[in-house]
Structure 1
Amino acid sequence: MIRRTILEWETIKYGAASDEIPAHAADRIAAVATASPLAGRGGGGVLEHGRNRLRARGVVGVIAAEGCALEILPKIDFPGEDGAEMTGRIRRRLVQMLAVALDLKIDAGQITAMDWQRETLLEILIRLFSEKLVDAVRQGMPRRYVEYADDLPVLRGRLDVTRQFTALAAEPSRLACRYDALTADVALNRIMKAAVARLVRIARNTDNQRRLHELAFAYADIAAVPVSALRWDEVVLDRTNSRWRELINLARLLLGERFQTTSAGGNSGFSLLFEMNTLFEEYVARMLKRALADTNLRVVSQGGRLYCLETDDRRGLFHTRPDILVKRGGEIVQIIDTKWKRIATRVEDRKQGVSQSDVYQMMAYGQLYKCNRLTLLYPHHSGLTKVDGVHAAHQVTGSDRRLESATIDVSRSEALSERLRAIAIPIR
């Protein structure tokens, strides 16, 4: 199988070399990428399909077609490392970011045992899911009482009087029964079966295939339901089955709209893709909530929802949703907007590559939400001379508001909460 790995916004040329991709494989992968919901109206939101190269955009993950796969990883700097070692570190950091965003717990043993340098992101996520599911099934599948209605030769439960004296009036040997029975054929188990059935078709790692086949046997008596018909709303998690929460989150990821089986030119394919902008925002919001948990500040993600304009009859136009609001009581004390892009390293560039549209957006937020502290937060990278934190702060003309540009180094998981806390609560 042809397997290649590149970083976001990088290109890979067509050819037979190890750092190139055969043109026929590139065509198949590009066709699958075009079918992704993230591809956009023009079909180029995931990959640019050129005459002699493929170019990744700001979407990461795995795209696979018949006989080939392309893995796209985020551009995260690990100074002093390159090649397979750096690729493994990036995969590991990406999985840790996903774990925070999806509220997953990955113990140290699992992290150590992963083959980060050789396995793709997809196989790593399949391993996490299948290992956790095997452990959960060994402790027992969730079961609950479900009401059944059946015509039986002996009474079970209670008699359905209406049906007995209408539909069964001429058949006294049958009794219309309504009864409750404990069953494992419930929504949560149907979701797990659907995830196993999908992954067993695409896993390539031998250990993953073995675990998934064992799980398929364990779920043999559970009804097979198409992914589109799964009843996520019927899943009830309480203290008796709370250990399944992480598995539900992983199943949502693996069965969600961004992971799909597509048909591309007669060849089946699939993709597991993430917008780094969205992942970075969710990761920062959750980590900031942890960082400020012992303060009087509260973090609200995707809150606000005020309108920029109103019509004459007071209907709102142009909805706003700031990425992160930091509140003290009912007051908004800081608005943070995350941007997964690199700010400039040139000393002579006083704007640091911050776009004018981002500045206008933050000024609108400040006015609408009556907030005097506005922060644009970017990923830190090795080209910056300063450590992560607030890099620049400017006064908004004619007001008391200040607009900051800051970075956070996601390659360093240690003390990340403290570094985010310093951005939210600056040292005076």
Structure 2
Amino acid sequence: MLKKNTIQVFEHSFLPIGENGFEQRHFVALSKLNALQDYQYFDLKHNGVVFKQFVGVIQVDGLTIEILPKIDRYESENEDNKAKWQKVLIQMLKVTKKLKIQQVGQANVSKQSIHLLDIYFEWFLSEVQLLIHQGLIKQYYKQTGNVKALKGKLEFAGHINKNLVHKERFYTTHQVYEKDHLIHQILGQALDIVTYLSKGTYLYSKCKTVQLDFPEVKAIRANENTFSKIPRSRKTAPYETALAIARLIILNYAPNISSGSENMLALLFDMNSLWEEYVLVRLKQAAQESSEYIEVYGQDSKPFWNAITIRPDIVLKKGSEVVLIIDTKWKNIDQTQPSTHDLRQMYVYNEYWKSQRSLLLYPSNNTLLKFEIQDQFVPLKGDEHHHCSLGKISVLSDGKLCENIGKHLLDFLE
């Protein structure tokens, strides 16, 4: 049973205004968010929204929209399938280290009583609680203001302006060693956001408890530049996870978006990139367990033309020899052929990496299928030094996300 004011939809589906609590004000808020993100998240129609390849969760003005992955557009959109694909998405995020599910959260997810936003919030609150338990660090920072004893640097202009009457005070800039520093200010801002968006949920009381235990710090409005100023040291190392989640929450939170009255938080992931990362992680794990010495690389780029580079998704090597290049595609290929652009791209990859084999890899919804090769061909007649294949691999195994994708792909090399 879904929580109140929660909608689950699949990627590439259409959500009309007036359905399941999705109102005109939500549509307006999503249109503003889409404009800020160069119109990459949705296609806007006159009476609703068509989602693209981004999955995750959006909370806007009391409504939560969870966008789930989907391979087969003809698959039924019933509650069982939504629960299945929610678990697939959560597991993908967990394997690619974009999400860590705590024990309590895991129990709730199994009942499908919470959504992704709750899981991220619970993760963040648990990390902050752990920091409080371990002991929050103090840091030196400069503070300017009136003090009763002269210390630090006397600011003459400010001192004359503020203390003509109060001769017993000094307006100075001095160092302070306290808990009210940038790291805690960032966490404090994220706590405020989580508390505001958790009103009416089971997490709200936990938010208030954490806030009571957290020191009072100066309110800030952190942005991308703020996070680049965070000091890195051995003392701040335990804060890395909490700060990473805080960054995700703060930078994706849009209060009063475009001068409107909506408060919105959008945690969205490109399903093409997520699928690529998942396959890469599973391949690296399988390669470590393999008896053959295979190295797996992602983000392996080479110069192509002027400042332009080319980068296949995954490169497999034995020693110095490239044995396979993989380009992952998150789309259903059952009734269609690879695009000419994709085939030309694979040909170039083979040439530049001096590989004899490349593979266009697509997901399959067939739970009985492990790995299937189709249409093995030579790109150019008479040019037989390399070729490309089209492969489909099962995303699911016994109704769950398949964990053996890497092993099935390595079997392709034999």
TM-score of the pair, normalised by structure 1:
0.76
- 1:207 is paired with a residue of what secondary structure? coil
SS of 1:93 mapped into structure 2? helix
Q: Would you say 1:387 and 2:370 are equivalent positions? A: yes
2:384 to 399, 410, 415: 399
* One-letter amino acid of the structure 1 residue matched with residue 408 of structure 2: A
Give 1:104 shift.
4.7
Structure 1 partner of 2:261: 267
1:146-201 deviation digits (Å, cap 9, x = unpaired)? 56788977787xx87xx799x99xxxx99999986543233332221121122222
Q: Distance in 2 between matches of 1:81 and 1:329?
A: 46
Distance, in Å, in 1 between the alignment partners of 2:320 and 2:5 is 55
How far apart, CA to CA, are the structure 1 residues paired with 2:259 and 2:178?
43
Q: Is the 8 A contact 2:102 2:123 kept in 1?
A: no
Segment of structure 1 superposing worse, 87-96 or 146-155: 146-155
Alignment of structure 1 residues 19-418 onto 2, 5 Å: 20-21=19-20, 25-36=22-33, 41=38, 43=39, 45-75=40-70, 83-102=78-97, 104-107=99-102, 110-114=105-109, 116-146=111-141, 182-228=177-223, 231-236=226-231, 240=235, 242-256=237-251, 258-261=252-255, 263=257, 266-270=260-264, 271-293=266-288, 296-307=293-304, 309=305, 316-344=306-334, 346=335, 352-382=336-366, 386-388=369-371, 390-391=373-374, 393-397=376-380, 398-412=383-397, 416=402, 418=404
Kindly provide the CA deviation profile for residues 367-424 of structure 1, in whole angstroms up to 9, marking residues without a partner as x.
2222222122222213x87324545533332132221222343444989554313314
Q: Deviations over 1:289-311 (max 9, x none)?
A: 3332356333332221422x3xx
Name 1:4's counterpart in structure 2: 7
The one of 404, 407, 410 equivalent to 1:421 is 407
Secondary structure in 1 matching 2:135: coil
The match for 1:349 is none
Secondary structure of 2:262's partner?
strand
* 1:223 to 1:230, Cα distance in 2 relative to 1, 3 A: farther
1:74 aligned partner, one-letter code = P
Unaligned residue ranges in structure 1 (runs of 5+): 310-315, 347-351
The letter for the 2-side match of 1:405 is L
Which position in structure 1 is the counterpart of 2:162?
Answer: none
Tell me whether 260-269 or 373-382 shows the greater mean CA deviation: 260-269
Match of 1:117, SS state, is coil
3-state DSSP class of the match of 2:202? helix
Mind listing any 5+ residue stretches in structure 2 that lack a counterpart? 160-167
Alignment CA distance shift 1:177-1:278 (3 Å): same
Residue 358 of structure 1 deviates from its aligned partner by: 1.2
- Residue 268 to residue 405, structure 1, CA distance change in 2 (3 Å): same
Go from structure 1 to structure 2 and tell me whether the alpha carbon gap of 1:291 and 1:206 turns closer, same or farther (over 3 Å shift).
same
Looking at structure 1, the residues matched to 333 and 256 of structure 2 have their Cα atoms a distance apart, in angstroms, of 36
Shift in Å at residue 10 of structure 1?
Answer: 1.8
User: Secondary structure at the residue paired with 2:207?
Assistant: helix
Cα deviation for residue 331 of structure 1 reads: 4.3
Preserved contact between residue 368 and residue 394 of structure 2 (Cα < 8 Å): no
**Which amino acid letter does the alignment assign opposite residue 358 of structure 1?**
D
Cα distance change on mapping 1:180 and 1:266 into 2, 3 Å: closer
Stretch moving more, 416-425 or 193-202: 416-425
2:370 match: secondary structure: coil
- For residues 212-235 of structure 1, the C-alpha deviation after alignment (integer angstroms, 9 at most, x for no partner) is 223333345222221226632344
Q: Percent identity over the alignment?
A: 23
